[in-house]
Structure 1
Amino acid sequence: MEAASSLRFRNALVFLRHQLRSSYAYRPRHQQQCRTNVNSSDPPVKKNFASDCMAKFINHGIGDMKNIIEPTPGLLETLEERGFMGQFHGNREEFTKLTDGEVIHIYAGADATASSLHLGHLMVLMPMIHCMLHGHRISLLVGIATARIGDPSGRLTEREGMKDRQLGERTFRYGTDITLQLSLLLKNAINYARQRGYEEPKIGRRHIRSNLEWHRNVSIIDFMQIVGHRSRIGEMMLRKSVSERLKSEDGLSFSEFSYQLIQAMDYWHLFSNLGVRLQIGGSDQWGNITAGCDLINRMVNEARWIEEQPTPSLIKNMAKPYGLTVPLLTTASGKKFSKTSGGGNIWISANKTPPFSLYQYLLNRPDDAMEQWLKYFTLLPIPKIEEIMEEQKEHPERRPAQKKLAYEVVDLLHGPIVAKKCVETTAVFFGQTDEEDGLAKRERKLQQGLQKSDIEGVSSKPFWEPVVADEVLGKPLEKVMVAGGVAPSNGQARTLLKSGAVSIGPNLRQVKYADGEKEILTMDDLIDANILLMKVGKNKLHVMRMETPETVERAREEKADPERALDNKHEVRKQTVRQRRSARKKEKKAATALRKTNRESAKRTSRSLLIEKTIASKQIMDEKAFGSLLQKALNRAQKKKK
């Protein structure tokens, strides 16, 4: 009986997808259509969409796993015991029964407003990983289209740069970076889960999409016919993201007011084409999630063809959308952990936040947050987390919870090799190690002297403190500390130096001033002649790089605002029509010359081979002649490779 019911359920899902499928995203561009009314029996109106500067949308799949028929039960219980259950839209008991018996499709999105995701995004990504490990299908949506509008949720002012002419190019570039980042994260997450006892055949399918895929093919008229007619101003005004902004001094722009409708269309598109049943987002996304659920319910209720089917109640039950919010990660002051309020220093990307910096950040979190953060950001079983917390209470000086959290998160994001490297580097720099001979290894390493490879990952380019070499070499250490931002004044720098809290150089030698004593920075204190490593106290590390007066200003700009520096780097130089034509002619001429050179080279190689073949066929070669012929062939292969 249950098998027959399950089969009818799946057949209803196939029928529902076929009837509701949006046609504007999967047809050739010259045949693109937009169905605006699910009740209409007339064919959709054909549209020809003009070519766009974006040559293609992002849809990087990362490979489907084996199709899972039966999921692992207990998804909601897992999310609840780890603290991910916030507000839930829909009947929770029905959804629990659904996820225990059927594989469903779940999605979560992130707008491409920066070139990387930050630590706060893990609050949404980790529940998605749990869903995948329970056998459900997941889709991660990169909001390239919605990033050009700007989500007002949780903000009192409009995002900067929304009127910038380079907005489209920037969001597309950011979307590409985030897509690749998510692909790597999911691959690492599967390896991470496998090492912790999860069975690979039970892991669900996953892929990454961009909402630019369908929004780029919908005009404002089509959008208003699909979403506008089914949305009510009163409901939109009551949502928190709108009401709070209307009370602010800057108010709310029309584009931000319409953001919830655009995200609602995303949910409708994924629901109608992929059968997505659940959207997961942060607690500030509750209004946007409910807007999507309301749109889907209205679209389905308007579909008269459902009543004409043999099992209309089954189909309507299959068309129920659900929504789930998770708590937001907050800073010590209680603010949302975002790139503008704390999260901007802790990025998921290794290029923006080195793994060692992430490791140190987590290693220095307070004790009272450890239990919840271990539940949030690791896949450790709950009993194992309880054991770690018991050890934390008995030996708080050892900080076992912080060490485990830091290792697990770096392993999840960057892999076990990088995580072990962070542990080893921490032992060398700060002497924090649980190995019996860890301190002896540290002494041997410092006696040999640190190399540049030992500090790779400790500080990437924006995190170096750039200093002019001529201004610090041969100067007293207190002036060097002020120039590198280690101390705010010469007096405080001298206080640190007198207390013996400062260690510098490749051997991390301790510097301790006596009264009236001064020490000069020399080349022997540098690593690879241009890097100064300075340790202050037990857990503060400063890295300075020697720059020339010509390069130091550029380095400071990149340190102050890495994203703005990246935008300036990619800024397109304006050209006149004549300059563009001239450039195209030069490129064409160079390409023609290259093809001609390649043809002539191929002819010469062919003639040489023919001559050698003729010689080889007419005479018996001794070992020396054969070796010479072989060497000629190897030389040609080497030249071709270059």
Structure 2
Amino acid sequence: MEAANSIRFRNALVFLRHQLRSTYASRPLHQQQCRTNVNSSNPPVRKNFQKDSMAKFINQGIGDMKNITHPTPGLLRTLEERGFLGQFHGNREEFVKLTNGEVIHIYAGADATASSLHIGHLMVLMPMIHSMLHGHRISLIVGIATARIGDPSGRLTERAGMKDRHLGERTFRHGTEITQQLSSLLKNVINYARERGYEEKKIGRRHITSNLQWHRNVGIIDFMQIVGHRSRIGEMMLRKSVSERLKSEEGLSFSEFSYQLIQAMDYWHLFSNLGVRLQIGGSDQWGNITAGCDLINRMVNEATWIDEQPTPSLIKNMAKPYGLTVPLLTTSSGEKFSKSTGAGNIWISASKTPPFSLYQYLLNRPDDVMEQWLKYFTLLPIEKINEIMVEQKEHPERRPAQKKLAYEMIDLLHGPVVARKCVQTTAIFFGQTDEADGLAKREEKLKQGLTGSDIEGISARPFWEPVLADEVIGSPLEKALVAGGVAPSNSQARTLLKSGAVSIGPHLRQVKLADEKILLTPDDLIDGKILLVKIGKNKLHIMRMETELTMKQAIAEREDPEGTIENSKPKAELRTRRQRKALKRKEKKANAEARKVNRKRVKVTSKALESEKRRASDRPMGEQEFDSLLRKALDRAERKAPGSRDIANRIEFKGMRMNRKPESQD
């Protein structure tokens, strides 16, 4: 009986997808119309996208295309145990029964408003990962199209740059980078889960794409026919993202007001084409999620052909959409992590937040969030987390929860090799190690001296602070601390040095300021160009020595490691007056050289043009021009060989040739 019901379920699902498939795609000219009537029986039309522009978004990280018919039960219970379950749209009992018996398709999205995701997105990605590990299929949508509209949820002002003419190019570039990041993350997740006892054959399919695939072929008329007729202004006005913005001074633009309709269309497209049944998002996305569910319900209710089928109740039950929100991860000030603001974000990308910096950030989290963060961001069993928290309460000075969280998250995001490197680097620089001979190894390493490879284990070169070598080497150490951003002023730098909290150099030599000044010498540099400064127990600063020629490029690299800042954006100013004067002299000299080269090029070009014009016109040289040319030649010859002017009596002008007069014959 169960097998028969399963077959009927799958057959009905295939029939439902075929009948409800949205067909607002590219068609021949004689068939260019948008299908908005769900009662139409026309066959679906597939889209053909340009491979060079959109293929990168199709089936990224798809993995093994195996068919899983029996998922691991208990998905909703797992999400609830780990604290992910917020608001739920739909009947929870029916959803539990559905997920325990059949594989469903789940999706979540992130707008391409920045070149990387941050750890706040893990609050949505981790439930998707748990769904995949339970055998369900997941789709991760990169919102290139919606990033060009701007989500008003949780914001009092419009996003910056929405009227920029480079918005389309920027969002497409960000979407490409986020797609690659998600693909790499899913591969790390599979390896991470396999090492922790998950069977790979029970892991569901995964799919990464962009909503630009379908929105790029939908005109405004098609959009209004599909979504506009099935949306109600009253319901849209009551949603929190709209009502709060209407109370603000700036108000709400029409594009932001229509954002919920754009996202609702995403859900409808994925539901009708891929059979997506559940959307997961942050708690600020509740209005957008319910808008998609309402659109799907209205589209299904308009399909009168369902009542004509043998099992209409089964088909309508299969067409029920669900929505789930998760709590938002906030900063220490209570604000949510946001890509568009960027302030204080901890990015997933190693090029924006080095793994070692993320590791140190997690090590310094307070004890009161450890249990919840271990449930959020790791795949450790709940029993193992409880054991860690018992040890944390018994020995809080050892910080076992922070160490476990930091290692597990780095392993999840960047792999076990990077995680072990972070542990080793932390032991060397801060002496935090659980190994019996860890401190002895640290002392031996510091005795030998740190190298450039050890510094690269902390962060990549663009994160090092550039300073002018001529200004700091041989000068008091407090000047280097100010130039490197360690202290805001010389007085505060001297206070740090007097306290004895500063260690520098390849051996992390502790320095303490007394009556005499401490000078920075070349021996304090690592590999002759890197200055490492340790402040207190857990703060590191890295400076790289630059010349006046490389300083400008180093500052640009420091401000924009990925090279994505537009040329129109003002460049970072140099720190000191001496640096600005040196740069001005360099620019003045470069401009003078450029003018000199330009004058020479213009002169050569003008001569070439005159020659070309003369050759093109094919006219003979005039007698006056010939005489002038001859006079100049004779003047030069007279200076070299006196008496050469006598030759002028024997030269006559004959068009383009110079011939000597024949000497008289006797």
Please, what TM-score do these two structures have when normalized by structure 1? Answer: 0.85
- SS of aligned partner of 1:284: helix
SS in 2 for 1:314: helix
Unmatched segments (≥5 aa) in structure 2: 570-666
What is aligned with 1:121?
A: 121
Bigger CA radius of gyration: 2
CA offsets, 1:529-566, max 9 Å, x none? 22111100000000111223344344435544657x51
- Please state if 1:185 is matched with 2:185: yes
Cα deviation, residue 9, structure 1: 1.1
Q: Give distance in 2, aligned partners of 1:133 and 1:26.
A: 36
CA distance in 2, matches of 1:561, 1:262: 32
Q: Secondary structure at the match of 2:566?
A: helix
Cα distance between partner residues in 1 of 2:481 and 2:202: 55
Taking a change above 3 Å as real, the CA distance of residues 341 and 398 of structure 1, as seen in their structure-2 partners, is farther
SS in 2 for 1:142: strand
Where does residue 392 of structure 2 map in the other structure? 392
Contact 1:189 1:413 in 2 (8 A): yes
Where do 1:47-86 residues align within 5 Å? 58-62=57-61, 63-86=63-86
Deviation at 1:569, TM superposition (A): 6.4
Please, which of 556, 565, 577 is the counterpart of residue 567 of structure 1? 565
Pairwise mapping of residues 12-27 of structure 1 onto structure 2 (< 5 A)?
Answer: 12-25=12-25
Partner of 1:511: 511
Instruction: Structure 1 unaligned segments of length 5 or more: list them.
Output: 572-642
Q: Which residue of 1 aligns with 2:98?
A: 98
CA contact (8 A) 1:425 1:454 kept: yes
Contact 1:30 1:48 in 2 (8 A): no
Structure 2 SS opposite 1:567: coil
Shift of 1:568: 2.5
Q: Which residue of 1 aligns with 2:647?
A: none
- Between the aligned partners of 1:534 and 1:482, the Cα distance in structure 2 is 12
Does 2:443 match 1:421?
no
Give the equivalent residue in structure 2 for 1:338.
338
2:368 alignment partner AA = D
What is the letter of the counterpart of residue 400 of structure 1? P
What is the distance in 2 between the residues matched to 1:312 and 1:56?
38
Deviation digits for residues 94-149 of structure 1 (CA, Å, limit 9, x no counterpart): 00010011100000000000000001000000000000000000000001111111
Runs of 4+ in 1 over 4 A off after TM superposition: 25-33, 41-44, 46-57, 340-344, 560-563
* 1:355/1:485 CA distance change after superposition, 3 Å: same
Q: Which amino acid aligns with 2:7?
A: L
Work out the CA distance in 2 between the residues paired with 1:237 and 1:222: 23
How has the CA–CA distance of structure 1 residues 485 and 10 changed in structure 2, closer, same or farther, with 3 Å as cutoff?
Answer: same
Task: Indicate how the Cα distance of structure 1 residues 371 and 325 shifts in structure 2: closer, same or farther if over 3 A, else same.
Answer: same
Q: Distance in 2 between matches of 1:375 and 1:269?
A: 33
Instruction: Report the residue type matching 2:204 in the other structure.
Output: G
Q: Report matched runs for 1:293-308 at 5 Å.
A: 293-308=293-308
Q: Distance in 2 between matches of 1:300 and 1:352?
A: 45
Deviations 1:441-466 (A, max 9, x none): 11111112111111214223442212
Q: Quick check: 1:29–1:48 contact (8 Å CA) kept in 2?
A: no
Q: Distance in 2 between matches of 1:225 and 1:78?
A: 40
Instruction: For residues 16-55 of structure 1, give each alpha carbon's deviation from its aligned partner in whole angstroms, at most 9, with x where no partner exists.
Output: 00111122458799977632221235789x9999999956
- Alpha-carbon distance, 1:66 to partner: 2.0
User: 1:49-102: CA deviations, max 9, x gaps?
Assistant: 999995666224322342111000000000000000000000001000100111
CA contact under 8 A between 2:421 and 2:457: conserved in structure 1? Answer: no
Change in Cα spacing, 1:146 to 1:52, as seen in structure 2 (3 Å) is farther
Query: Aligned with 2:542: secondary structure?
Result: strand
Counterpart contact for 1:120–1:343, Cα < 8 Å: no
Q: Distance in 2 between matches of 1:172 and 1:363?
A: 35
CA distance in 2, matches of 1:296, 1:190: 33
Name the structure 1 match of 2:537.
Answer: 538
Is this contact kept in 2: 1:353–1:460, CA < 8 A? Answer: no
Of the structure 1 ranges 544-553 and 223-232, higher mean CA displacement relative to structure 2 is found in: 544-553
The corresponding residue for 2:491 is 491
Aligned residue type for 1:389: M
The question of 1:521 aligning with 2:520 is answered yes
558 and 248 in structure 1: CA distance in 2 versus 1, 3 angstrom threshold: farther
Q: 1:200 aligns to what?
A: 200
| Contact in 1 for aligned 2:351/2:561 (Cα 8 Å) | no
Letter paired with 1:430 = F
Report what 2:664 is aligned to.
none
Tell me the SS of whatever aligns to 1:566. Answer: coil
Instruction: Give the counterpart letter for 2:217 in structure 1.
Output: N
The match for 2:577 is none
- Native 8 Å contact 2:261 2:291 kept in 1: yes
Return the alpha-carbon distance in structure 2 between the equivalents of residues 181 and 409 of structure 1. 16
Q: Could you tell me how far apart the structure 2 residues matched to 1:28 and 1:402 are?
A: 60
Q: Distance in 2 between matches of 1:26 and 1:192?
A: 41
> Judging changes above 3 Å, is the alpha-carbon distance between structure 1 residues 542 and 375 closer, same or farther for their aligned structure 2 residues?
same
Rate the CA distance shift 1:369–1:286 in 2: closer, same or farther, 3 A: same
TM-aligned CA distance change 1:137 to 1:27, over 3 Å: farther
Q: TM-score, normalised by structure 2?
A: 0.82
Residue 351 of structure 2: aligned partner:
351
Q: Tell me the distance in 1 between the aligned counterparts of 2:244 and 2:484.
A: 42
Q: State the Cα distance separating 1:383 from its structure 2 match.
A: 0.6
d(CA) in 1 for partners of 2:343 and 2:194? Answer: 29
- Give the equivalent residue in structure 1 for 2:245: 245
Question: What do the CA deviations read for 1:150-191 (whole angstroms, capped 9, x no partner)?
Answer: 111111111111111111111111101000100010110011
Contact 1:504–1:510 (8 Å) recurs in 2: yes
Shifted more, 305-314 versus 22-31: the winner is 22-31
Which moved further from structure 2: 272-281 or 469-478? 469-478
Helix, strand or coil for the counterpart of 1:503?
Answer: strand
In 2 relative to 1, CA 157–551 (structure 1 residues): closer, same or farther, beyond 3 Å? farther
Aligned in 2, Cα 1:32/1:213: closer, same or farther, shift over 3 Å?
farther
Query: Aligned letter for 1:9?
Result: F
Letter in 1 for 2:564: L
2:482 is matched by which residue type in structure 1?
V
Check conservation: 1:57, 1:212, Cα contact below 8 A.
no
Using the alignment, how far apart are the partners of 1:121 and 1:472 within structure 2? Answer: 42
SS in 2 for 1:542: strand
Using the aligned pairs only, state the percent identity.
Answer: 82
Deviation of 1:327 after TM superposition, in Å, equals 0.1
The answer to whether the Cα contact below 8 Å between 2:49 and 2:213 also exists between their aligned partners in 1 is no
How far the C-alpha of 1:3 sits from its partner, in A, is 1.8
User: In the superposition, relative to structure 1, how do residues 179 and 42 fare at CA in structure 2: closer, same or farther (>3 Å)?
Assistant: closer
Deviates more, 1:499-508 or 1:34-43: 34-43
Paired residue secondary structure (2:412): helix
Q: Any idea what SS the aligned residue of 1:34 has?
A: coil
2:210 counterpart letter in structure 1: S
C-alpha distance in 2, partners of 1:179/1:554?
29
Where do 1:443-522 residues align within 5 Å? 443-514=443-514, 516-522=515-521
CA contact (8 A) 1:23 1:33 kept: no
Aligned partners of 1:265 and 1:180: how far apart in 2? 25
Deviations, residues 365-406 of structure 1 (Å, cap 9, x unaligned)? 000010000000000000100000000000000000000000
What amino acid does structure 2 have at the position aligned with 1:385? I
- 1:560-619 deviation per Cα after TM superposition (whole angstroms, max 9, x unaligned): 4657x5133699xxxxxxxxxxxxxxxxxxxxxxxxxxxxxxxxxxxxxxxxxxxxxxxx
In the aligned structure 2, how far is the partner of 1:142 from the partner of 1:342? 18
**SS across alignment from 1:114:** coil
In structure 1, C-alpha distance between the alignment counterparts of 2:10 and 2:176, rounded to whole Å: 35
- Paired position in structure 2 for 1:289: 289
The alpha-carbon deviation at position 513 of structure 1 amounts to 2.1
**Cα distance in 1 for residues equivalent to 2:34 and 2:370:** 50
